[in-house]
């Protein structure tokens, strides 16, 4: 019947679309793996090409944008890195890693107020992450708020008592109080 033919045509079309989508996902995952490997080998420009391919195949993948941000930071292209990390934040607003990275990038650019805001956002999203507390402390130290910096370093050290960098940062903050 005509109704059965129409159903079969819709089914085949849907199946083909799903197969195409699965193929794109597989290719995006492969591009991510390739990009990571290239980055490990310090082949940054080639890694960028792989991560760009990944974001084209899967535009909602926050990981691809995060890796692009890291690559461009390593090349000294801070404004480009900031653009990509902001896109990752849009796609994964609950991930503490991305505001943490944004705080580092903004600090690189000399935007201490923006860096402080991003670090505070990272702490609110990842209160059990020692790195974000340490980053907040570093920024506060640079801004001259030694008491708040010491508190952030104490929290980082509470979360990771074996980290010698956190101990040194805390000692330095105490010296400046």
Radius of gyration of the chain (CA): 22
**Could you tell me the two tokens for 65?**
């944008």
118-173: per-residue pLDDT in tens? Answer: 999 999 999 999 999 999 999 999 999 999 999 999 999 999 999 999 999 999 99
- The span from the CA of 11 to the CA of 30, in Å, is 28
- The span from the CA of 116 to the CA of 157, in Å, is 20
In terms of Cα–Cα distance, which of 62, 64, 68, 63 is closest to 82? 68
Give the pTM: 0.86
Which pLDDT value is given to residue 20? 53
- Reduced to 3 states (helix: H, G, I; strand: E, B; else coil), residue 14 is helix
Contact 88, 98 (CB under 8 A): yes
60-112: per-residue pLDDT in tens? Answer: 999 999 999 999 999 999 999 999 999 999 999 999 999 999 999 999 999 99
């Amino acid at each position: 019947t005509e109704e059965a033919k129409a159903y079969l045509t819709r089914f085949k079309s849907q199946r083909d679309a799903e197969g195409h989508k699965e193929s794109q996902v597989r290719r995006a995952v492969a591009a991510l793996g390739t990009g990571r490997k290239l980055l490990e080998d310090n082949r940054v420009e080639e890694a960028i090409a792989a991560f760009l391919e990944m974001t084209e195949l899967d535009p909602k993948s926050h990981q691809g944008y995060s890796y692009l941000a890291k690559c461009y930071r390593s090349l000294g292209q801070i404004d480009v890195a900031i653009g990509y990390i902001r896109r990752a934040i849009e796609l994964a607003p609950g991930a503490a890693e991305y505001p943490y990275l944004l705080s580092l990038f903004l600090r690189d650019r000399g935007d201490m107020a923006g860096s402080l805001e991003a670090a505070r956002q990272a702490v609110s999203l990842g209160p059990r992450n020692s790195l974000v507390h340490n980053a907040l402390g570093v920024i506060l130290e640079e801004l001259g708020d030694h008491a708040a910096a010491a508190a952030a370093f104490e929290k980082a050290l509470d979360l990771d008592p074996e980290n010698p960098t956190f101990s040194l940062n805390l000692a330095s903050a105490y010296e400046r109080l």
